[in-house]
Amino acid sequence: MSANETKALASRIEDVPELLVEINIAVGKPVKGTNKARIEIPITDGSTYTVRILLLDAKGSVISYADHIGVLNDNHADVYEGTATLNGSKVKLSGPTSNDWWHLYAWQDGKQITFKNGRQFAIRGVDDLTSLTVEGGSGVIKVVLEDFSGKMSEPVEVPFGTTYTSMEK
C-alpha cells in the first residue's frame, strides 16, 4: 500500500489529554485490522468527553475531522482524600476533594457518627464537618462518600489525634 493510499486516524479524548491513539486506515482498499481504534478509560465517572477523528494527508496536514461528544456512564465514586484534626474533644474533617459527592458517612470503632438532627450522614453544603463528636484523644475515623448517582466509595481510614499521626497500610 502506498503512502497516498494511507491516511492517519487520530482519536483524542479531551477530558483525558494524555490519552492519544493513532492508527492507519486504508483509503480505497480496506486493510483488515487497520480501521478500528480502542480507547480504554480507567475510570467511568460520568464525565463529558469529546472524541475527534482527524483525516490527515501524506504530509500530516488535517484535511477533515469529525467530533463525537458524549457522556461516560457513571460507575465510580471517588474516595475521601482528606484529613482529620483533633480540636479538644471534637474532630474536624477537611472537606472532600471530590466534586462528585452528596453524602459523607463516618464511623469510629464500628459505631456510626451522627450528624445534624441525628442523621447517619452529612449532606454536602448543609452539615458542619468541623466538630464531629469522637471518643478518646486519638483514633481512626472510617469515611465513605456517596456520589450524586447514589454510588458509595470504598471506605478510607483517616487517623486523628496524637497516637495516629501517620498510618501504614
Percent of the chain with pLDDT over 90: 43
Residues 51 and 88 in one domain: no
| Predicted pLDDT at 25 | 56
Residues 66 and 89 in one domain: no
Nearest-5° Cα angle at 45, 44 to 49: 75
Among 10-24, 26-40, 121-135, the range with the most confident prediction by mean pLDDT is 121-135
Residues 53 and 97 in one domain: no
Does residue 79 form part of some domain? no
- Mean pLDDT along residues 40-48: 79
Q: Supply the CATH number for residue 124's domain.
A: 2.60.40.10
Residues 108 and 150 in one domain: yes
Residues 153 and 131 in one domain: yes
Q: Give the whole-angstrom CA distance, residue 119 versus residue 91.
A: 17
Does residue 156 form part of some domain? yes
Residues 49 and 94 in one domain: no
Rounded to the nearest integer, the mean pLDDT of the chain is 79
Residues 147 and 107 in one domain: yes
- Mean pLDDT along residues 38-58: 80
At residue 33, does pLDDT exceed 80? no
pTM: 0.63
Final residue before a domain boundary, out of 14, 41, 71: 71
Does residue 78 form part of some domain? no
Residues 98 and 153 in one domain: yes
CA terminus-to-terminus distance, the chain: 55
Residues 113 and 154 in one domain: yes
Does residue 76 form part of some domain? no
Cα–Cα distance list, 132 to 41, 94, 161 (Å): 37, 11, 13
Give the pLDDT confidence of 52-79 residue by residue, as tens digits: 888 888 788 899 888 888 888 888 899 9
Instruction: Give 62's strand partners.
Output: 56
Which residues form the domain of 19? 3-71
Domain count, the chain: 2
